[in-house]
Structure 1
Amino acid sequence: MPAPKVLISDALSDAAVQIFRDRGIEVDFQPDLGKDKEALARIIGRYDGLAIRSATKATAKLLAEAANLKVIGRAGIGVDNVDVPAATAKGVIVMNTPFGNSITTAEHAIALLLALARQIPQADASTQAGRWEKNRFMGVELTGKTLGVIGCGNIGAIVADRAIGLKLKLIAYDPYLSPERAIEIGVEKVELDALLARADLITLHVPMTEKTRNILSAENLAKTKPGVRIVNCARGGLVDEVALRAALDSGHVAGAAFDVFVTEPATENPLFGHPNVICTPHLGAATNEAQENVALQVAEQMSDYLLQGAITNAINFPSISAEEAPRLKPFVALAEKLGSFLGQLTDAPVRGIRITYEGAVAGMNTRALTAAAVTGVLRPFLQDINMVSAPAIARERGIVVEEVKREGGASDYESLVHITVDAEDMPRDAAGTVFHDGKPRIVEIRSIAIDAAFAPHMLYVRNHDKPGFIGRFGSVLGEAGVNVATFNLGRETEGGNAICFCAVDAPVPPDVLAEIAAIPQVKRVRPVNF
């Protein structure tokens, strides 16, 4: 198997490039290529991985040319320059490095808080201009003040930790912050309106989403405490810049320190020129340590995925550790094949998919298995679906996906995966397991026990358990020159409903299927392919 190929189209450290090479990955290091969209599009089809910073724009147009691309690695936290939905639709994993910049960004926020409280940039400019304006730059003390942290994830928690050392009181608004975690990091969890009313200083540490865009709108700025000071080292657009300028002009907001802006590079901005505003050019991640950390992290993460199937810090897929990837692989294959079997039997619209995990498999990373199962079910209807895009496509189509876990045991099997597809005409179900040889097998169809390995070409037959079926079925195939590779039978009761699931060496022609369907005992025959 040829070594994976990775293109680095932005500036990454030599140490990161060496990580790829040491792991046996072929690297093409062209740090200026990201600025040339046409040249990048011409060669992107050759690569399995693309490592970028912020200069490269991974647009839908570029992704359309990326026939072999499996992963995009962003050295940094923001993926604004990647069309994540387009990547997801193509089955491309998008990774970032959310923790490499955390300390650096948190320290920058603290630095801006201090600079804002003591007007350090303004005082520096005045003093160096030869004016000794000691009385002009009257600051405020941070000790005892209330700092409102909007967004208490990784960076927000580090800011809180540093702020506690400065003797600030901490309140935080974050819908995903648990009460236990709030106690652990030393903040009081509050609703947004309470934070706005109580905070002397506000710092933002949330991603840019439709819910967080303009979280400090004109309306919310009006709810803030008079004399509040605001710091934004997160994302431009979290604060309505025009409304903030008006609040600064009126004196309601005493000062603002911004590292990020709606439009970047910011050569002009409503905040520029105000005497109580401090601006820096998106320096949150700009330390030697942070730049090196994110480059090394993205090289390790991409290598782990391309070589082992391990997924870390993916924007559009659940994480899979390097340790669990080999153990998951056969169960991923099982889930997809079981789903595919049921999808190929289903003609009516699908309303829901329920996957039940029993035994040891219930303790595994089932999100990846569920994505595989949904992919299998829907692929007969949506040929371009993949494990990355399947969960989102199911949600878009209103298909309810449910996971059930039962770790206590799985009847006769160490692990059992059972899938039920709820279609508008009727539900269909099947179960399977992975034996010690690592090969997935189907062990139950329609609650009837069976034991069959999957093969590229198979026939599924529902029939009455009556004498003569097997002989006639074999004769029809034999007369048509169709060779049977494996033959597996199961039945509910003697003389009752039965199923036949057999592997054949080649696809069965339609006229032969019609002959099988005409056998008196046959209720239904369906070719299935894996």
Structure 2
Amino acid sequence: MPKVLISDKMDPKAAQIFRERGIQVDEITGKTKEELIAIIGDYDGLAIRSSTKVTKDVLAAAKNLKVVGRAGIGVDNVDIPAASAAGVVVMNTPFGNSITTAEHAIALMFALARDLPAADASTQAGKWEKNRFMGVEVTSKTLGLIGAGNIGSIVADRALGLKMKVIAYDPFLTPERALELGIEKVTLDDLLARADFITLHTPLTDSTRNILSRENIAKTKKGVRIINCARGGLVDEAALKEALDSGHVAGAALDVFVEEPAKVSPLFGTPNFISTPHLGASTSEAQVNVAIQVAEQMADFLVSGGVTNALNMPSLSAEEAPKLKPYMALAEGLGSLVGQLVGDDVKAVAIEVEGAAAELNQKPITGAVLAGLMRVYSDTVNMVNAPFLAKERGLDVREVRHDREGDYHTLVRVTVRTSAGEKSVAGTLFANSEPRLVEIFGIKVEADLAGTMLYVVNEDAPGFIGRLGTALGEAGVNIGTFHLGRRAAGGEAVLLLSVDSPVTEPVLWDVCRLPGVKTVKPLTF
């Protein structure tokens, strides 16, 4: 039974979903890093919000951990490269709080437009400063979106309903998607010059950090109002204060800060500045939604292998997983075979699919090939960290999908480039479920890839099979299955034998000394 730890406060429905799916769950919140390290080794899954920090040290102690699920969109508190290297899937729930965050941005826009917090404080203090609080309408104003993804597109929809003109800067926004949303795609400089309101909806990356820098704030239209409900660090807070003090920026509202909790900020106390304590996702509906989503995603992964909203591996739906499972077993076996035979002399790898395999999601098949192939480098490799290891070693990975019809209803081929040239193996599925090798280094041979095996390359000659059987029999090695292939009569032949026990080194040397033997390799699957 898989075991999951919920380490941050989460709606009770999350734990309920885990239990309904047959997963043991513990809810232990408020632990220090050291306390978490002491217990994390017992768990297959870790469900978190923003409080738990999943650091390299935590991951090093999490020997059984397979998945980290973040109930929410931000994963700043998870060391994703370290998780990938450890073979741990990292998931988030990017859609559970999208509406809530978008609505908060719209709420802050209205608060800025009508100076609501200051007006409220003044009125409750017994003043009646009606002439002091002269606001602006949002109707017909230009809203500039920095980021037009999931949340940004919801903000755009709401703003269009308010009769605003919406422009957006987003390198990933296609012209077709912009047309569909009813917005105008522009450059960043164009947005800064034209927008009456600017709202940010982009992750914090090297390219977006301080995207509203001192220089870019200076390019904005005088009287602009700025809203950030996305990530602290997108706005240069000191530069924003200067722009507020000078009157160039008419108002700003931040829900997120560089340092959180934000007990101190240069912006606090600045006129025309509104702040909220990271409330973007803080509605009852959003908290329930993200808790349910993270539990369902983690349960799918731990029970059926489904991967949804993962940040470090391809998605694989719970419906796809059973269909792809035999293909992934075949792919991993082929990768493992070529890895064991070629060793660490791999410069590039190509994964080709044809027939029924070409109609499937190829990313999990590629991940499985790399998991098998990279096992020559690490005994803890899996589909998550295999692409990471391949990239780390400069391996060129190529995917090829063929529409052609071949000799088999489905085929997966793995070709590696080595210093000695290209080597290729191929396999298919029998009865749509049984992985079977059908070609090795250009020689046709049918074999299962399972258990302990012996790979022998020899000159095709009468009596060889008898001599090999005798050598293994005298050494007490029992042969389970025997698979043969050859290029031509009297030419190079290949034997793949499954054996009931590992072949010791002295026995391997005895086989090597048989007449006509060119190569002998023990294999394990």
TM-score range, shorter chain: over 0.9
Runs (5+) with no aligned partner, structure 1: none
Report what 1:502 is aligned to. Answer: 497
Q: Which residue type is aligned with residue 88 of structure 2?
A: V
Q: What is the rounded CA distance, in whole Å, between the counterparts of 2:345 and 2:239 in structure 1?
A: 49
Which of 376, 386, 408 is residue 382 of structure 2 equivalent to? 386
Give yes or no for the alignment of 1:250 onto 2:246: yes
Alignment of 1:356-395 (within 5 A): 356-395=352-391
Q: Which runs of 4+ in 1 moved over 4 A?
A: none
Which of 282, 301, 307 is residue 297 of structure 2 equivalent to? 301
Q: Which residue type is aligned with residue 409 of structure 2?
A: E
Structural RMSD (CA): 1.5
Check whether the contact 2:85–2:388 (CA below 8 A) recurs between aligned residues. Answer: no
Alignment of 1:433-472 (within 5 A): 433-436=428-431, 438-472=433-467
Alignment of 1:47-446 (within 5 A): 47-409=43-405, 411-436=406-431, 438-446=433-441
Q: Which residue type is aligned with residue 477 of structure 2?
A: V
Per the alignment, do residues 432 and 172 of structure 1 end up closer, same or farther by CA in structure 2, a change over 3 Å counting?
same
1:466 CA drift (Å): 2.5
Q: What is the rounded CA distance, in whole Å, between the counterparts of 1:151 and 1:493 in structure 2?
A: 62
Q: What is the rounded CA distance, in whole Å, between the counterparts of 2:2 and 2:372 in structure 1?
A: 26
1:515 CA drift (Å): 2.6
Report what 1:10 is aligned to. Answer: 8
1:437 CA drift (Å): 6.5
Check whether the contact 1:157–1:185 (CA below 8 A) recurs between aligned residues. Answer: yes
Check whether the contact 1:173–1:190 (CA below 8 A) recurs between aligned residues. Answer: yes
Report what 2:513 is aligned to. Answer: 518
Q: What is the rounded CA distance, in whole Å, between the counterparts of 1:227 and 1:437 in structure 2?
A: 65
Q: What is the rounded CA distance, in whole Å, between the counterparts of 1:501 and 1:295 in structure 2?
A: 50
Check whether the contact 2:374–2:389 (CA below 8 A) recurs between aligned residues. Answer: no
Residues 221-230 or 158-167, more deviating = 221-230
Per the alignment, do residues 40 and 68 of structure 1 end up closer, same or farther by CA in structure 2, a change over 3 Å counting?
same
Q: What is the rounded CA distance, in whole Å, between the counterparts of 1:219 and 1:468 in structure 2?
A: 82
Q: What is the rounded CA distance, in whole Å, between the counterparts of 2:344 and 2:419 in structure 1?
A: 6
Q: Sequence identity, in percent?
A: 63
Check whether the contact 1:245–1:270 (CA below 8 A) recurs between aligned residues. Answer: yes
Q: What is the rounded CA distance, in whole Å, between the counterparts of 1:96 and 1:159 in structure 2?
A: 21
Check whether the contact 1:51–1:72 (CA below 8 A) recurs between aligned residues. Answer: yes
Check whether the contact 1:229–1:256 (CA below 8 A) recurs between aligned residues. Answer: yes
Which of 31, 35, 38 is residue 42 of structure 1 equivalent to? 38
Check whether the contact 1:89–1:386 (CA below 8 A) recurs between aligned residues. Answer: no
Which of 26, 29, 32 is residue 28 of structure 1 equivalent to? 26
Q: Which residue type is aligned with residue 164 of structure 1?
A: L
Check whether the contact 1:34–1:40 (CA below 8 A) recurs between aligned residues. Answer: no
Check whether the contact 2:343–2:376 (CA below 8 A) recurs between aligned residues. Answer: no
1:136 CA drift (Å): 1.9
| 1:416-452 C-alpha deviation (Å, 9 max, x unpaired) | 1000111223221100112126221111011211100
| 1:151-200 C-alpha deviation (Å, 9 max, x unpaired) | 11110000000000111111111111111111111111112222122212
Q: What is the rounded CA distance, in whole Å, between the counterparts of 2:344 and 2:69 in structure 1?
A: 39
Q: What is the rounded CA distance, in whole Å, between the counterparts of 2:11 and 2:331 in structure 1?
A: 40
Q: What is the rounded CA distance, in whole Å, between the counterparts of 1:215 and 1:38 in structure 2?
A: 36
Q: What is the rounded CA distance, in whole Å, between the counterparts of 1:113 and 1:60 in structure 2?
A: 39
Q: Which residue type is aligned with residue 15 of structure 1?
A: K
1:76 CA drift (Å): 1.0
Check whether the contact 1:146–1:200 (CA below 8 A) recurs between aligned residues. Answer: yes
Give yes or no for the alignment of 1:527 onto 2:522: yes
1:348 CA drift (Å): 4.8
Q: What is the rounded CA distance, in whole Å, between the counterparts of 1:512 and 1:28 in structure 2?
A: 51
Per the alignment, do residues 348 and 290 of structure 1 end up closer, same or farther by CA in structure 2, a change over 3 Å counting?
closer
Q: Which residue type is aligned with residue 358 of structure 1?
A: E
Check whether the contact 1:360–1:407 (CA below 8 A) recurs between aligned residues. Answer: no
